[in-house]
Amino acid sequence: MSFPLVFDIETQNTFQEVGKYDPSLLKVSLVGAYDYADGQYTTYLEADLPALWKKMEQASVVIGYNIVGFDLPVLNGYYPGDLTKLPAIDLMYILEKQIGFRLKLDDVAQGTLGIGKSGTGLMAVEYWKKGEIDKLREYCLQDVKVTKDLFDYAREYRHLKYKDRQGTEVVVPVTIEIPQSRPPVNLTMPF
């Protein structure tokens, strides 16, 4: 039986540094993950990514916030196969389809859970550059926890919330379907 895997990535550099918006040009500093199979939070540095591939390949679905447009394209630069072939639930895209625009993870977390992120992605890049790996891990795993909690909330209550520009709470109905199981797939094989 396979289980969902929630993940988030942090990068070593920014779009400004690479000169354009192209996630495939960014380098991974750290990936944080929560595996429903064992209930564990884990982090993977760039050198540890092969251990993450096995988890992702065995997951029933990978879950995140903006993973389709950001995390998966960045990781594909390291992966010998195509991570976009994995079943994925992108909470940001689910919300965007409902309301017609993108929301920041922090806005959805504040509106739905009453808690937010611990900082910004630019802080994570600075942690990496300063060698503050423990702070980077803490920041990334907080994002993973928030994303996991939003996913769990959405599955149970079938909505997520945010505050609009006037401060009014907006409830967005969401339907999240996850596969009950799927056979593990090894997408790193060339055939």
DSSP string, 62-115: EEESSIIIIIHHHHHTT-SS-GGGS-EEEHHHHHHHHHSS---HHHHHHHHHS-
Q: What is the tens place of the pLDDT at every residue in 156-166? A: 999 999 999 99
Domains in the chain: boundaries: 5-99+114-144
Residues 6+ positions from 127 with CB-CB distance below 8 Å: 10, 133, 135, 136, 139
Q: What is the tens place of the pLDDT at every residue in 77-108? A: 999 989 988 999 999 999 999 999 999 999 99
**Class of 5-99+114-144 in CATH:** alpha beta
- Per-10-residue mean pLDDT of the chain, 191 residues long, equals 92 88 93 97 97 94 97 95 92 97 96 82 89 96 97 97 96 86 54 37
Q: What is the pTM of this model?
A: 0.91
